[in-house]
Amino acid sequence: MIGEGDRVPALKTRLSDGTELNLASPGRPLVLYFYPKDDTSGCTKEAQDFTLLVEDFTKAGVNVVGLSRDPMKKHDKFIAKYDLKVPLASDEDGAFSDAFGTWVEKSIYGRKYMGMERATYLIDGDGRVLKVWRKVKVPGHAEEVLKVATAA
């Protein structure tokens, strides 16, 4: 599990906006938020909250990327449906969520299953983790991340 002060692994992925993300050297600060599933209530709210603040993050010199195990086709529909301004990445092979320890056992109504833990990482431009939020609750989260990101 990757924690504060750790260097992130050299993982690369293509984002929904067509750019490539090299996690080990993003070039400028990066907010990477892991979320369970496109087009569900909590995940939609979280993506909308980051979208509302994307200009503030940009002014602060911070990129924001959302990541789930959904395929890019599903991401594209999700972005279009809600007019999201934050690029999304697909972790279909689980490389990112395995490296960050966000693919965890969950339980609902006594049934156990594997799923994505809602977590957010603030990473500096050289690929070092500045701040970690685990087991994120959506209300107010994007605002809190912006506050920390602009102070870093």
Active-site residue, selected from the candidate residues 43, 47, 116, 119: 43
State residue 103's pLDDT score: 92
Q: Is residue 7 part of a domain?
A: no
Q: What is the CATH number of the domain that holds 44?
A: 3.40.30.10
Q: Is residue 11 part of a domain?
A: no
Q: Is residue 117 part of a domain?
A: yes
Q: Check the CA dihedral 89-95-97-99 and report its sign.
A: negative
Q: What is the C-alpha to C-alpha distance for residues 53 and 151, in angstroms, rounded to an integer?
A: 15
Give the amino acid at 115: G
Q: pLDDT band at residue 152, thresholds of 50, 70 and 90?
A: confident
Q: What is the C-alpha to C-alpha distance for residues 90 and 71, in angstroms, rounded to an integer?
A: 6
Q: Is residue 12 part of a domain?
A: no
Q: What residues contact 148, with CB distance under 8 A and at least 6 apart?
A: 122, 130, 131
Q: What is the C-alpha to C-alpha distance for residues 49 and 132, in angstroms, rounded to an integer?
A: 18
**43 among known catalytic residues:** yes
Q: What is the C-alpha to C-alpha distance for residues 6 and 34, in angstroms, rounded to an integer?
A: 18
**Segment (H or E) for 110:** none
Q: Is residue 102 part of a domain?
A: yes
Q: What total of structural domains would you count in the chain?
A: 1
Q: Is residue 8 part of a domain?
A: no
102-145 pLDDT per residue, tens:
999 888 888 998 899 999 999 999 999 999 999 999 999 999 99
Range of the domain at 88: 28-151
Q: Is residue 42 part of a domain?
A: yes
Q: Is residue 145 part of a domain?
A: yes
pTM of the model: 0.94
59-85 pLDDT per residue, tens:
999 999 999 999 999 999 999 999 999
CB neighbour class for 75 (10 Å; exposed up to 12, middle 13-18, buried from 19): buried
